[in-house]
Amino acid sequence: MRSLGLRFLNVIMATLFGLLIFVAWTDISHAYSVFGYSDTISDSHPGNEANHTVGFTITKNVSPGAYIDIIPPTGFEILSTSTFDVRNVELVVNGTPRVASSTMSPGVDRVQITTGNPGLIRYTLNPSSGLSAYDELELLIGNHTSNSRSFSISYSTTTGTTTVQSDIEPVVNSSLTGVHKMKIRVYDGGLIASADPIIFLIKNISVGPVDTTETVPPYRFNGAPTSSVGGTTLSVEISLETDELAICRFSTVAGTAYGSMPNTFSDTGLIVHKHVVAVVPESIQRFYVRCIDDEGNINIDDYLITFTVDEVPSGTANEEGSTSGDGSGSGNTGTGTGTGGGGTQGSSDGNTPEYGGQTGGGGSGGGGGGSSGDDDEDDSGGGFELSDAPYESGDGEVIINGYAFPGSTVVILVDGVAADTDTANDDGKYSITLSEIARGVYTFGVYAIDKRNVKSSTFSTSFTVTGSRTTSLSNINVMPSILVQPDPVDVGQTLTISGYTLPNANLNIENQKDKVAQSLQKLEAVSDSKGLWSITLDTSRFSKGTYKVRASASQSGGPSTNF
């Protein structure tokens, strides 16, 4: 501890359009059995009305029936008005408000207000409960107490219309700038503690008028696919990203204005935009994209997503042979027998795939003819299924594995269509094998659905599947799921951000107001053995707008995810 004559300066200023908040510096020479004292006011402009929050800690026990006097500095005035009453004076002890009224009783403290210049606030403890040494105290004076009234109008058939006016900020600042001293006095049979926190008044500084509306339309990037897709592909997921929240549309005609574009991305409104489109073999696909942000800024130029679709594999048909096959074959859901002509020699590539008929055709390469299933079965033998599959049959194999959330449903997409699912084990590990997939270029996607049915972001990648070979995608670790409650949230409400990820992992969470880089908050959390994580945020200092949240996770010495 330094000498008693030393002063500590702790001034917090926030100036914007007339709002200034100040915390007094502490003058140790005027402290008696009190420490950590301050007086925070809502407005520091000379002559303005303000709320006061007087904080302090007493080093002694305080008996029931003792009282605390708060005396404003000379030149300040406590207003006499119906919109300032005992409900606007509240003592908070270690974060918990005490009950008070104008009349003292067991369990109920008494508040006395002396209006005028400077006036007096006296807070008397009830006869049954006092204060303990080192309790952290806050005495609130103004319209920020828990019992303060807001403006309201009510109507009754018996009493008519009743209007309740809002409570005011009750203490008028001195007209003089500079240093002013608030007095805190605690009496318990006699004076047992005192302090004189200092208030510093300064004229408000205004900025403006300033138009903060931004006029830059969304920046578009990372369009996909960019190369080619197989000729057996029926549909493809196109996607792109933007640098801000946006809604994106597309057209197949260049130069189409945003408002005239006929197609809106099915997954849009954030920063990743996706849509599944139908494609035809042996073609060049072009999609012209424009977006609009949440302030109405529209792209006036096209962003092109283009790729090619390969032709359907083709070859020479087999000739009929002279030797009959045995005619055995099987259908998809039933079995049957039939006859067919035997082939002499198969070619390397087959003809365009066709649907199976009621009678099996001759097998290629000398094989037996396939037969139809029984007439009462759903699908015929000797050909492809009548319903579309997520990919054409072939001799390739793709294995996708990694980590998600324990017990989550992991979904694999092939060209935007769900192809298979798996349930992650207790460690979050999953593995899915896509068998008998035709050769070609595919876009594969992976996402997980947690126990609250919240979907994670989708990991996507495109690559070529080659025939008679197994391709592995390893360490595809799903990003954490994110649930924000409530959404939307009012300023001042407690916001909860939670989700699922790798079990027993450390999370890095980023929260940022859209288009305001300096608002970035970096937060941390830890998931439990089930992968569940949660944090809470105080939004009292947030401004209205749209915020973006993202998260990544990593286990010590184990797997990790990206944002």
Query: What CATH number is attached to the domain comprising 295?
Result: 2.60.40
459 touches 476 (CB < 8 A): yes
For residue 345, being part of any structural domain is answered with no
Token pair 């807070």: residue: 123
Q: What is the mean pLDDT of residues 502-508?
A: 95
Secondary-structure percent of the chain, ordered helix, strand, coil, rounded to 5: 5, 45, 50
Residue 515 lies in a domain: yes
What is the band of 376 on the pLDDT scale with cuts at 50, 70, 90? very low
**357 assigned to some structural domain:** no
| Tokens 């003292």 -> residue | 104
What global pTM score does this model have? 0.38
Q: Do 122 and 255 share a structural domain?
A: no
337 close to 370: Cβ distance less than 8 angstroms: no
Whether residue 282 contacts residue 311, with contact meaning beta carbons closer than 8 Å, is answered with yes
Does a cis peptide bond (omega within 30 degrees of 0) precede residue 225? yes
Domain hosting residue 549, numbered range: 483-554
pLDDT at residue 14 in the model: 35
Average pLDDT over residues 124-145: 96
**Residue 401: both structure tokens together:** 């594995």
Residues 237 and 113 in one domain: no
Whether the per-residue pLDDT at 11 is higher than 70: the answer is no
Q: Are residues 107 and 184 in the same domain?
A: yes
CB-count exposure of residue 510 (10 Å: 0-12, 13-18, 19+): middle
**DSSP type of residue 143:** T
Domain-located, residue 258 = yes
The reply to whether 65 and 187 lie within a common domain is yes
pLDDT at 373 over 50: no
Is 97 found in the same domain as 57?
Answer: yes
Same domain for 132 and 17, yes or no, is: yes
Tell me what pLDDT residue 470 has: 78
| 333-347 confidence digits (pLDDT tens) | 444 444 444 433 333
Question: Which of 473, 502, 523 is the last residue before a domain boundary?
Answer: 473
Structurally, how many domains does the chain consist of?
A: 4
In the prediction, which pLDDT does 322 show?
47
pLDDT in tens, 455-483: 999 988 877 787 667 777 788 899 999 99
- For the segment 516-528, the average pLDDT, to the nearest whole number, is 89
pLDDT, the chain, mean: 81
Task: Give the CATH number, domain containing residue 422.
Answer: 2.60.40.10
pLDDT for position 404: 95
Domain boundary among 473, 495, 518: 473
Shared domain for 44 and 177, answered yes or no, is yes
Residue 221, pLDDT above cutoff 90: yes
Q: Is the pLDDT of residue 194 over 90?
A: yes
Q: Has residue 351 been placed in a domain?
A: no
Find where tokens 């204060």 sit: 131
Q: Same structural domain for residues 469 and 499?
A: no
Check the CA dihedral 397-466-280-412 and report its sign. Answer: positive
Spatial CA neighbour of 67 closest among 125, 141, 110, 136: 125
Confidence of residue 20 (pLDDT cuts 50, 70, 90): very low
CB 186 within 8 A of CB 66: yes
**Taking Cα atoms as reference points, which of 460, 467, 447 lies closest to residue 225?**
460
282, 309, 336 - which closes a domain? 309
Q: Which residue has the tokens 């004229």?
A: 203
Share of the chain above pLDDT 90, in %: 55
258 in the same domain as 226: yes
| pLDDT at residue 439, as a whole number | 82
- 327: in domain: no
d(CA 134, CA 94): 10
> For 287, how many CA atoms within 13 A lie in the half-sphere containing its CB?
26
Structure confidence by residue, pLDDT tens digits, 225-246: 888 877 777 888 899 999 999 9
Answer yes or no: do 458 and 514 share one domain.
Answer: no
Q: How far is CA 107 from CA 86, 129, 263, in A?
A: 16, 7, 67
Q: Is residue 438 part of a domain?
A: yes
Residues 183 and 229 in one domain: no
Pairing relationship of beta strands 470-473 and 393-403 according to DSSP bridges? parallel
Residue 206 lies in a domain: no
Count how many Cα atoms sit within 13 Å of the Cα of residue 226 in the half-sphere of its side chain: 9
Q: Are residues 196 and 87 in the same domain?
A: yes
